[in-house]
Chains A and B, each alone.
Chain A
Amino acid sequence: MRCDEVTALLPGLVDGDPVGFEAERHVETCLRCQAELARYRRLLRTLSMLRTRYAEPTPGLLGETLAVITEAAERGARHTLLSGRRLAYAGAIGGGALAAGATAAVLIARSRKRALSLAG
């Protein structure tokens, strides 16, 4: 394999990705490609060091963010409350209707019974 072919594989080889026997063998024997691989390793090392190089957050952003969450949480709570109330209203209406139905059934049954006893 030629250096330019192997060079294209180096950004993966630096992670340990399999690149094939020929490419690996080329790197083992080619100083130029070894130097190139070393550059990629150094690049990765430097990139990983950026992890603890923190950016300074905009002043006030933390407070704004907490306020946004508070607003969303309150909105969510109101929504939950409304849903709960809706459920309660629906339950009350349903229960009332059921009770009314039962009362009506009892009254009808009684009136029929009375009518039958009067007839008899």
Chain B
Amino acid sequence: MDEAELVGAARGGDRQAFDELVRRTFVDTFTLARRLTGNEEDARDVVQEAYLRAWKGIGKFRGDAAFSTWLYRITANAAASSIQRRRRHRVVPFDDDFEPVDTGAEQLVSQGAETAEALDRIADALDDLPVKLRSVVVLKDVYGLSHEAIADELGISVSAAKVRLHRARHKLRDVLYDEGAQADAV
């Protein structure tokens, strides 16, 4: 069965079809949840919540977008809820204070950003971003969601989403390339 058929069956209440969709998308969804939350523990909760919401809402899925995109949006929304809950329960949770860490960026610049090591560094730099900025840059630049979709799922305006995206990119650029740029200038 292809994805469209599985979605059609799941919309009609076929649990086996939905379970198959879960199996096929699980690693991808977990990866997104991990990137959005920045840690594995919260990612687990977000994944379960996302699939539960997807099961409850599958009847409303109209198929305008790909199933994976629909699931990304649900996951983003579940992660945003999880983050809000954490905010209420932790004393020093997600401030915007951001201390760029030394990531050995000269090497990254000289070797080119497309190496496995560079991907590890950029993943680490993402984890170090404040969550508000991380969510937007992950959804836009890694998963390709539109500004409108991101704004919808995170409960912010489109202009706020753009501002956060630009700030996130600026911070990532500082972390990854600043030392290299200074070294170039010398």
User: Measuring CB to CB, which residues of chain A are less than 8 angstroms from any residue of chain B?
Assistant: 11-12, 14, 17, 35, 39-40, 42-51, 53-58, 61-62, 64-66, 68-70, 72-73, 76
Contacts and interface: CB of A to CB of B under 8 A. Distances in A.
Contacts of A72: 52, 55-56
Contact of A58 (B19, B35, B40, B51): B40
Contact of B113 (A14, A42, A62, A64): A42
A11 B173 CA distance: 9
Contact of B47 (A44, A45, A49, A61): A61
A19 B137 CA distance: 20
B165 A46 contact: no
Nearest to B55: A69
A43 B47 contact: no
20 contacts: A14-B169, A39-B173, A43-B169, A46-B118, A46-B119, A47-B141, A50-B126, A50-B142, A51-B142, A53-B31, A54-B27, A54-B30, A57-B47, A58-B44, A61-B44, A62-B22, A66-B19, A69-B18, A70-B15, A72-B56
A48 B186 CA distance: 31
Contacts of B165: 11
Given A47-B122, A65-B22, A73-B55, 7 more contacts: A46-B113, A53-B123, A54-B27, A54-B28, A55-B34, A65-B26, A69-B51
B76 interface: no
Contact residues of A: prevailing secondary structure: helix
B28 to A, nearest CB: 7
Contact of B173 (A40, A54, A55): A40
B63 to A, nearest CB: 21
Highest count of chain B CB atoms <10 Å: which of A54, A55, A58, A64: A55
A40 B143 CA distance: 17
Contacts of B62: none
B143 A51 contact: yes
Interface of B: 15, 18-19, 22-23, 26-28, 30-31, 34-35, 40, 43-44, 47-48, 51-52, 55-56, 113-114, 118-119, 122-123, 126, 137, 141-144, 162, 165-167, 169-170, 172-173, 176-177, 181
A46 B124 CA distance: 13
A53 B34 CA distance: 12
A62 B28 contact: no
Given A39-B177, A68-B48, A68-B52, A12 B122 contact: no
A55 B37 CA distance: 13
